[in-house]
A and B are shown apart, each in its own frame.
Chain A
Amino acid sequence: MELVKPSIGLIFWMVVSFSIILFLLKKFAWKPILGMIKERELSIENALAAAENAKEEMKALQSSNEKILAEARNERDLMLKDAREIREKMIADAKGIATKEGERLLTSARENIQNEKMAAITELKNQVATLSIEIAEKILKSELSSDEKQKSLVNTLLKDVNLN
């Protein structure tokens, strides 16, 4: 059974050279290779994680952007609404003030007119009174200019008193 009989020489050479190659490969091949593979895997993993992070950040940024945009839009709408309200209010206010002012002016004008009218009437009355007095004076003067006339007047007046 040559085939299944271990040969001491072959075993010896195999043990020696396998130990040597195990040592050499361990030191000069497996260590750097496995180290580099691991390093590369780590860096790839890190890069992937970073990319994922960046994506998340982008997403967050986008959503925050959208939020800001929506807020801005809202604000604009609000401002527009406010502005519209203010404008309407201003117009309404102005209208009210104008109406009031007009009314006030009208009333004051009316009052003025009334006053002027009254003043004019009073003046007129005074003048009429003065004129009447003057006329009466003149009439009296002319009536009482002669004795006869004074006697006739007294008579007339007396006549009237008698009648009463």
Chain B
Amino acid sequence: MLFASFAAFAYEPQDKEYNPNNTAPVHNEDKHGHEAAGFDAGKMILEHVADSHSWHLFGHTAISLPVIVKTDKGIELFSSSHFGHEGEENYHGSNYKYALHEGSIVVIDELTGSIDEKSTATVTDFSITKNVVSMFITMLLMLWVFLTVAKAYKRNPGKAPKGLQSFVEPLIMFVRDDVAKPSIGEKRYEKFMPFLLTVFFFVMFSNYLGLVPFFPGGVNLTGSISIAMVLAGFTLVITFLVANKHYWRHVFAMPGVPIPVLIILTPIEILGVFLRPFVLMIRLFANITAGHIIALAFFSLIFIFGEMNTGLGFGVSLFSLVFTVFMGFLELLVAFLQAYVFTLLSAIYFGSAIDEGHDVHNHVDDHSVEGSKH
């Protein structure tokens, strides 16, 4: 799957070069020109996978989302519907004239009608994009599910779980008993449970929502590098907040290692501290994005072959369908697996940050404690 995602990236530079920083009107023509030139699978896939200022539902129907831009002259809020269906129109804001270029907001020079690079650099896009909306939907869903479940627990304490409760409880128990306890330790895992559970369910919910092909699903939320970055960033920050002397000593001056070796080892260790959450981010992003790209790629095949020959298109559609279904099942597994892996690795980093004892032994103790309990 990683290969697939890299293959997708390989498409991108071509796209970029194809459309150098031209004027906005040219940009619009370019769009239509693209359609006339035939079906561009790479562009279609990347448009679906990337973030957007409007939520395309079906056909020519899309939900316009609010655009919030912070410029050097102040904050502006307007609807993305001002950019038109295809993002082909410009919007005269109170500060600048805005346009959509390659999915991002740019400032258009009033006189020349071309992109004003200098002003664009001062604009920060805080829009409620498709990903932001999808994130809100995921979070509201989480709130609804877990507050309902919490209420159910309060209503019948000490009873066997029922309904939604019995669906969620095994997962909570899984995170507690198979993720937190073995990696952090029996005694201190409780402090980390809220974060681990929130991350686990956020990643899982958005992964599964992303697999739903229609509104409000189908958004590549966890496959967005920003989202993965924030999640990994939380892990990093929490690791730093809880890390004890022991951890820092292992990072900056590994005990029992001679000083000449430390000169090499310490930079590696420091790099490793940041590399771990970085890898966490890349893994989540790449896996989920790859899943979306593969599903779209199989569908693109239908149109690519359909353009050559209608019959061929129908033939390939059968093959595509079978593979998409197969990949769909695989993605169902990946969706859960990535949530699990992200949570597990976070827990392991927390565990190593608060590890008091002399390396392995402490962990062994924790395991034996756990083992005796079961």
| Chain A residues close to B by CB (< 8 Å) | 1-15, 17-18, 21-22, 24-26, 28-34, 36-37, 39-40, 43
Q: What's the least CB distance linking A153 to chain B, in Å?
A: 145
| Chain B residues close to A by CB (< 8 Å) | 8-9, 12-13, 46, 49-51, 68, 102-104, 124-129, 131-132, 135-136, 139, 142-143, 146-147, 149-150, 153-154, 157-159, 169, 172-173, 176, 190, 193-195, 197-198, 202, 224-227, 229-231, 233-234, 285, 289
Q: Is B172 a contact of A13 with CB atoms below 8 Å? A: no
Q: Is A6 a contact of B197 with CB atoms below 8 Å? A: no
Q: What's the least CB distance linking A138 to chain B, in Å?
A: 136
A3 — which chain B residues lie within 8 A by C-beta? 8-9, 12, 46, 49-50, 225, 289
Which residue of B129, B173, B202 contacts A10 across the interface (Cβ within 8 Å)? Answer: B129
The CA of A62 and the CA of B153, in the complex, are separated in Å by: 41
The CA of A90 and the CA of B317, in the complex, are separated in Å by: 113
Q: Is B230 a contact of A14 with CB atoms below 8 Å? A: yes
Q: Could you pull out 15 A-B pairs where Cβ atoms are within 8 angstroms?
A: A2-B12, A2-B104, A3-B225, A9-B124, A9-B132, A10-B129, A10-B132, A10-B224, A13-B128, A14-B132, A22-B234, A28-B147, A30-B193, A33-B146, A34-B172
B169 — which chain A residues lie within 8 A by C-beta? 37
The CA of A15 and the CA of B236, in the complex, are separated in Å by: 13
- Beyond A22-B194, A34-B193, is A4–B9 a contact (Cβ under 8 Å)? yes
- Beyond A10-B227, A13-B128, A13-B132, is A33–B142 a contact (Cβ under 8 Å)? no
Q: What's the least CB distance linking B184 to chain A, in Å?
A: 14
Q: Is A36 a contact of B154 with CB atoms below 8 Å? A: yes
Q: What's the least CB distance linking B309 to chain A, in Å?
A: 32
The CA of A17 and the CA of B143, in the complex, are separated in Å by: 12
Q: Is B229 a contact of A6 with CB atoms below 8 Å? A: yes
Q: Is B126 a contact of A21 with CB atoms below 8 Å? A: no
The CA of A39 and the CA of B169, in the complex, are separated in Å by: 14
A43 — which chain B residues lie within 8 A by C-beta? 158
Which residue of A4, A15, A39 contacts B225 across the interface (Cβ within 8 Å)? Answer: A4
B173 — which chain A residues lie within 8 A by C-beta? 37
Q: Is B225 a contact of A14 with CB atoms below 8 Å? A: no
The CA of A160 and the CA of B139, in the complex, are separated in Å by: 176
A29 — which chain B residues lie within 8 A by C-beta? 146-147, 149-150
Q: Is A36 a contact of B157 with CB atoms below 8 Å? A: yes
Q: Is A37 a contact of B125 with CB atoms below 8 Å? A: no
B198 — which chain A residues lie within 8 A by C-beta? 18, 21-22, 25-26, 30
B153 — which chain A residues lie within 8 A by C-beta? 32-33, 36-37
The 9 closest A-B pairs by CB, nearest first: A29-B146, A26-B194, A10-B226, A36-B153, A14-B230, A9-B126, A6-B226, A29-B150, A30-B194
Most buried by B among A1, A2, A28: A2
Which residue of B124, B172, B227 contacts A14 across the interface (Cβ within 8 Å)? Answer: B227
The CA of A163 and the CA of B33, in the complex, are separated in Å by: 210
The CA of A42 and the CA of B193, in the complex, are separated in Å by: 19
Q: Is B139 a contact of A21 with CB atoms below 8 Å? A: yes
Which residue of B68, B127, B157 contacts A39 across the interface (Cβ within 8 Å)? Answer: B157
- Nearest CB to that of B8 among chain A residues? A3
Q: What's the least CB distance linking A4 to chain B, in Å?
A: 5
- Nearest CB to that of A26 among chain B residues? B194
Q: What's the least CB distance linking B189 to chain A, in Å?
A: 11
Q: Is A25 a contact of B142 with CB atoms below 8 Å? A: yes
The CA of A6 and the CA of B278, in the complex, are separated in Å by: 13
Which residue of B103, B127, B157, B172 contacts A9 across the interface (Cβ within 8 Å)? Answer: B127
Q: What's the least CB distance linking A67 to chain B, in Å?
A: 35
A31 — which chain B residues lie within 8 A by C-beta? 194
Q: What's the least CB distance linking B218 to chain A, in Å?
A: 17
- Nearest CB to that of B149 among chain A residues? A33
A22 — which chain B residues lie within 8 A by C-beta? 194-195, 198, 234
Q: Is A24 a contact of B229 with CB atoms below 8 Å? A: no
B146 — which chain A residues lie within 8 A by C-beta? 25, 28-30, 33
- Beyond A5-B225, A9-B126, is A32–B154 a contact (Cβ under 8 Å)? yes
